[in-house]
Amino acid sequence: MSAWSHLPNAAHIDRVIESSNSYPEVWNVAYDSAWDAAWDAAWDAAWDAARDAAYTAARNAAWNAAWNAAWNAVLAFIAYDDAANYLAMPSDQLKAWAILSENPAAILLLPVVIAYERISEWELA
């Protein structure tokens, strides 16, 4: 049982952590690809909303580019109960939505969607 198992998005948090550990190179690329998508504005809002809960859940995690992408997704899943809805959007559509809406959850989940798309392509190849 994890520290976040009581949260509505617990399954998504577990999936992000497992995926980032299994495919760190994909997550590195996804993180870099999503960085410019209105990052600064979303980071401030999401960090303030989720910092305390996310710190407890992830304080023992390693810090690298892959983990940063996963960490940001965990923040979104903790702070925004409806964040999982963005996982159904293709990355190009989510990027446009994140920029237009300035929704922190959309911006934080962009690397997740990019990583999941690349992992799917990689596994099909």
pLDDT (tens digit per residue) in 84-106: 999 999 999 999 999 999 888 99
Confidence band for 117, pLDDT divided at 50, 70 and 90? very high
Check residues 30 and 109 and name the one with the higher pLDDT.
Answer: 109
The mean pLDDT of 39-67, rounded to a whole number, is 60
Q: Is the pLDDT of residue 44 over 90?
A: no
3 domain residue, yes or no: no
In a domain, 1, yes or no: no
Looking at the domain assignment, is residue 35 inside a domain?
yes
Q: How far apart are CA 67 and CA 72, in angstroms?
A: 8
Domain annotation covers residue 59: yes
The answer to whether 37 and 112 have CB atoms below 8 angstroms apart is: no
pLDDT at site 61: 45
Number of structural domains, the chain? 1
The CB density around residue 48, as the number of other CB atoms within 10 Å, is 11
Residue 5, domain member (yes or no)? no
d(CA 9, CA 25): 24
pLDDT class of 45 with cuts at 50, 70, 90: low
Dump the DSSP string for 53-64. HHHHHHTTS--S
**63 is in which domain, residue-wise?**
10-124
